[in-house]
């Protein structure tokens, strides 16, 4: 059965989530987190988008993005392909790094966008990963 086509239009704002395969860790150390962020910036320079908020949890990521001329699928493919290559090479793994397809939720109102922004910032606090959000 084909997958449901995702909604996208220039200027659309989304909450993007992506998780490590089998809920395993995507980030083992600060180098991994910084490398993911570097790939995020590299992708942004090639395929411009506005990153409003992000959070890198141990086994998943949250991105709040406004897309301009490229759909989320193109941007996430580029970002996650590069990170998966890095991750597999560093840890001598093969195969998938990310679990299935990324999740995307259209942020249709400013109120909802602010609610998601708050959720993303508080996520590491609620998971007891940090004392306060930066």
Spell out where the chain has E strands: 13-19, 49-56, 60-67, 103-106
User: For residue 3, is it within any domain?
Assistant: no
In the three-class reduction of DSSP (H, G, I as helix; E, B as strand; rest coil), residue 102 is classed as coil
23-60 pLDDT, tens digit per residue, is 999 999 999 999 999 999 999 999 999 999 999 999 99
User: For residue 33, is it within any domain?
Assistant: yes
User: For residue 99, is it within any domain?
Assistant: yes
CATH code for position 30 = 3.30.70.1290
72-107 pLDDT, tens digit per residue, is 999 999 999 999 999 999 999 999 999 989 999 999
The boundaries of the domain holding residue 122 are 13-126
Say if CB 97 and CB 88 are below 8 A apart: yes
User: For residue 41, is it within any domain?
Assistant: yes
User: For residue 131, is it within any domain?
Assistant: no
Kindly report whether the global pTM for this prediction surpasses the value 0.85: yes
User: For residue 36, is it within any domain?
Assistant: yes
């Amino acid at each position: 059965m084909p997958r449901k086509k995702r909604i996208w239009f220039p200027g659309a704002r989304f909450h993007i989530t992506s998780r490590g395969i089998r809920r395993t860790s995507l980030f083992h150390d600060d180098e991994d987190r910084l490398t993911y962020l570097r790939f995020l910036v590299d992708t942004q320079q090639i395929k411009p988008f506005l990153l409003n908020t992000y959070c890198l949890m141990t086994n998943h990521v949250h991105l709040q993005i406004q897309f301009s001329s490229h759909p989320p699928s193109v941007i996430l493919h580029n970002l996650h392909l590069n990170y998966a290559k890095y991750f597999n090479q560093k840890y001598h793994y093969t195969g998938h790094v990310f679990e299935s397809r990324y999740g995307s939720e259209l942020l249709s109102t400013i109120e909802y966008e602010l609610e998601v922004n708050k959720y993303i910032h508080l996520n590491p606090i609620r998971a007891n990963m940090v004392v306060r959000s930066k």
